[in-house]
């Protein structure tokens, strides 16, 4: 569910081929969350801290720019809620599920070297991507709340960006597909229907590498069932936020992001703030 809430502006922006990015991120998320509605657990509140280590590389494919990236997250979460009428607390820490993304911009982004890229005229870009999330995170089937999901997830997506002088708009539409968790709560089977996600962003470039974007996302679907019995209402939720990117010296840059829940009947009602440090270098 949380992955559908991701807001990533400029995820289909062009880059020169042979570019490498090393990414270190931290986010802090607070708020309420709805879990299995068949259980007598209510008023769940969470404080979740997450650190991400990632790497991305761009290359030429069919005369266009493509990229591959990997992210390994570590998560610590403190949760509290009512079990019946009794207050309970739980903490979880560990590696979360590893994710990999392949993207290819098939319109408006030819494969250019860094020198060629610096002379290019910005134009419309359109691309497609697929994200794969592997069940590598910490998981205990005796726990209702876990860091890992114990299932595979896939997200095919299409996206585009349109420059307009110093302004830009971009958006994407994707669909999360899930395999079953066959060891949910000591041997039950948990399934989830596809979850669609849509993002739209609009922003302004102050100077090369420095920009501010307003972000919004809407996600729907994702009905959960346990042993064939539905336990969650279908999602129809939205979020909004802001993202500020700033270049630093010697290939370093930072990105500050803030987002909050807007509406929806079930799911997470989180406020999130995150800071990312990025280092970029070229193959040649």
- Is the confidence at residue 161, as pLDDT, over 80? yes
- What is d(CA 188, CA 190) in angstroms, rounded to the nearest whole number? 6
**Given this model, what pLDDT does residue 269 score?**
77
Does the pLDDT of residue 272 top 60, yes or no? yes
pLDDT of residue 230: 84
- What is the rounded average pLDDT for all residues in the chain? 91
Q: Give residues with Cβ within 8 angstroms of 127, minimum separation 6.
A: 12, 103, 104, 105, 106, 107, 109, 158, 159, 160
Quote the pLDDT of residue 56.
98
* CATH value at residue 168: 2.40.128.130
Report the chain's terminal Cα–Cα distance, integer Å: 40
Is residue 79 very low, low, confident or very high in pLDDT (cuts 50, 70, 90)?
confident
- The pair phi, psi for residue 216, each rounded to 5°, is -150, 145
Give the Å distances, CA to CA, from 263 to 2, 236, 239, 266. 15, 8, 7, 9
Total domains in the chain come to 1
Q: Residues of the chain with pLDDT > 90: what percent? A: 75
pTM of the model: 0.92
Q: Please tell me the least confidently modeled range out of 33-42, 119-128, 150-159, 266-275.
A: 33-42
Using 50, 70 and 90 to split pLDDT, how confident is the model at 278? very high
**C-alpha atoms less than 13 angstroms from C-alpha of 277 in its C-beta half-sphere:** 8
Task: Decide if pLDDT at 268 tops 70.
Answer: no
Q: How confident is the model at residue 265 (pLDDT cuts 50, 70, 90)?
A: low
Q: Which of 50, 4, 6, 8 is nearest to 29 (CA)?
A: 50
Three-state DSSP class for 64?
strand
Q: Which residue has the higher pLDDT, 79 or 232?
A: 79
pLDDT of residue 87 exceeding 90, the answer is no
Average pLDDT over residues 196-215: 96
Secondary structure E strands in the chain: 19-33, 41-61, 64-83, 86-95, 99-107, 125-133, 153-164, 167-178, 181-184, 188-192, 195-207, 210-221, 224-226, 229-230, 235-247, 252-263, 268-282
**pLDDT confidence tier of residue 195, bands split at 50, 70 and 90:** very high
pLDDT tens readout for residues 217-226: 999 998 889 9
Q: How confident is the model at residue 137 (pLDDT cuts 50, 70, 90)?
A: very high
pLDDT band at 214 (very low <50, low <70, confident <90, very high): very high
- What residues make up the domain containing 217? 2-282
Structure confidence at residue 88 (pLDDT): 84
């Amino acid at each position: 569910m949380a992955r559908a809430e991701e807001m990533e502006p400029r995820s289909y922006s062009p880059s020169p081929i042979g570019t490498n990015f090393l990414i270190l991120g931290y986010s802090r998320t607070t708020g309420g969350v709805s879990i299995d509605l068949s259980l007598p657990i209510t008023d769940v509140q969470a404080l979740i801290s997450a650190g991400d280590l990632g790497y991305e590389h761009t290359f030429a494919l069919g005369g266009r720019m493509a990229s591959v990236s990997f992210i390994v997250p570590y998560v610590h979460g403190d949760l509290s809620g009512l079990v019946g009428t009794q207050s309970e607390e739980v903490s979880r820490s560990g590696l979360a599920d590893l994710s990999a993304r392949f993207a290819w911009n098939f319109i408006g982004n030819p494969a250019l070297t860094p020198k060629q890229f610096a002379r290019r005229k910005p134009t419309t870009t359109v691309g497609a991507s697929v994200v794969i999330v592997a069940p590598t995170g910490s998981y205990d089937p005796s726990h209702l709340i876990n860091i890992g999901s114990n299932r595979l997830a896939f997200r095919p997506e299409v996206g585009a960006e349109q420059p307009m002088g110093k302004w830009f708009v971009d958006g994407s539409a994707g669909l999360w597909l899930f395999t079953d968790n066959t060891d949910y709560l000591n041997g039950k089977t948990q399934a989830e229907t596809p979850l669609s996600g849509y993002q739209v962003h609009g922003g302004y470039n102050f100077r090369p590498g420095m920009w501010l974007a307003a972000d919004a996302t809407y996600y729907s679907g994702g009905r959960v069932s346990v042993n064939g019995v539905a336990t969650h209402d279908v999602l129809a939720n939205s979020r909004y936020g802001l993202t500020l990117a700033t270049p630093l010296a010697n290939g370093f840059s930072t990105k500050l992001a803030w987002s909050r829940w807007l509406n929806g009947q079930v799911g997470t009602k989180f406020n999130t703030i995150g800071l990312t440090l990025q280092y970029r270098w070229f193959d040649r």
